[in-house]
């Protein structure tokens, strides 16, 4: 069972610096909950399933349905990047690429939004805890210097214990913030890599059409491996002056004839 009275005493014994650390705790909690929700539930999507549906619509030459699918989730980064490509599908390939890059530059920062705050909050909370400890120790030694020797040890132990509360509280706030920051940072990088991968596949599909499926067909790869290698016919390399064995034999026969 949580000792609520002990937690309250722990907080107030820490002194002034416990309050700014508590403010860091509130901000860190708000940012963590908001970013976790947005990254895991709003911005996230099933990339492979989404790509498969877009592929089917493009093969059927139904760009309108593909655009409707992109509009079904206006918060998702990959939906908006694909939308930029499909809206300009009839343009030159270089222009499609430019629109895709522009869309990526506008939506990717939304994934990274407010994530650095968690790193800053963790560092500030730790530093405030250390500052509170140092300030508490300074105040304790000042008081100890004005009392009798019999009371010094008691006041010193109480003062040090109280001063350490700020360091402990600062670490209590900082450690979860750093864990959430690390998790979200890796998750966002994974999402960006997946967006780049599937966007490249979409651009390849728009550029090559049916040849796209030939390139990514496993059956095609297998048949290529099983196909026997053809013997290359050696030809005369005029530029290098090399001749085939047949030409060499013909040349020798001609020389014998001239001698005769």
Domain spans of the chain, in order of start: 4-212
Query: Any alpha helices (H) in the chain, and if so which ranges?
Result: 4-13, 18-37, 47-59, 63-71, 77-87, 93-112, 115-144, 149-208, 211-216, 218-226, 245-259
Yes or no: say if 86 and 53 are a contact pair by the CB < 8 Å rule.
no
Task: Using the predicted structure, report yes or no on whether residue 115 has a pLDDT greater than 90.
Answer: yes
Which string of b and e fits 153-176 if b means at least 16 CB within 10 Å? eeebeebeebbbbbbebbbebbeb
**Per-residue confidence (pLDDT) for residue 195, from 0 to 100:** 93
Least Cα distance to 107 among 49, 43, 32 occurs for 43
Task: Using the predicted structure, report yes or no on whether residue 141 has a pLDDT greater than 60.
Answer: yes
Per-residue pLDDT band for 237 (boundaries 50, 70, 90) equals very low
Predicted TM-score (pTM) of the model is 0.73
> Tell me, what DSSP letter sits at residue 145?
T
Task: Using the predicted structure, report yes or no on whether residue 170 has a pLDDT greater than 90.
Answer: yes
Owner of token pair 């999402």: 191
> For 220-241, what is the mean pLDDT?
39
**Over the chain, what is the mean pLDDT?**
81
Owner of token pair 């002034």: 16
Yes or no: say if 129 and 171 are a contact pair by the CB < 8 Å rule.
yes
pLDDT in tens, 145-168: 777 777 777 777 777 877 899 999
**Per-residue confidence (pLDDT) for residue 240, from 0 to 100:** 40
Chain CA centroid to CA 3, Å: 40
Task: Using the predicted structure, report yes or no on whether residue 213 has a pLDDT greater than 60.
Answer: no
Q: How far is CA 128 from each of CA 15, 31, 246, rounded to the nearest angstrom?
A: 12, 19, 89
């Amino acid at each position: 069972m949580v000792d609520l009275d002990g937690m309250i005493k722990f907080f107030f014994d820490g002194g002034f610096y416990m309050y700014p650390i508590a403010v860091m705790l509130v901000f860190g909690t708000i940012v963590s909950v908001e970013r976790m929700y947005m990254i895991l539930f709003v911005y996230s999507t099933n990339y492979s399933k989404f790509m498969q549906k877009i592929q089917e619509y493009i093969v059927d030459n139904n760009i309108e349905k593909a655009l409707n699918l992109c509009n079904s989730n206006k918060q998702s980064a990959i939906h908006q990047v694909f939308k930029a490509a499909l809206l300009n599908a009839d343009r030159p390939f270089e222009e499609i690429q430019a629109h895709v890059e522009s869309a990526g530059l506008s939506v990717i920062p939304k994934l990274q939004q407010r994530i650095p705050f968690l790193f800053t909050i963790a560092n500030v909370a730790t530093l405030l805890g250390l500052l509170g400890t140092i300030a508490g120790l300074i105040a304790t030694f000042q008081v100890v210097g004005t009392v009798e020797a019999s009371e010094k040890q008691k006041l010193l132990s109480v003062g040090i214990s109280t001063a350490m509360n700020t360091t402990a509280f600062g670490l209590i706030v900082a450690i979860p913030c750093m864990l959430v920051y690390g998790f979200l940072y890796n998750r966002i990088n994974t999402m960006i890599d997946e967006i780049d991968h599937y966007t490249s596949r979409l651009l390849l599909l728009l550029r090559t059409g049916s040849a796209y499926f030939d390139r990514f067909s496993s059956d095609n790869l297998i048949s290529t491996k099983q196909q026997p290698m053809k013997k290359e016919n050696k030809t005369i390399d005029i530029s290098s002056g090399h001749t085939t064995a047949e030409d060499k034999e013909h040349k020798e026969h001609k020389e014998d004839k001239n001698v005769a």
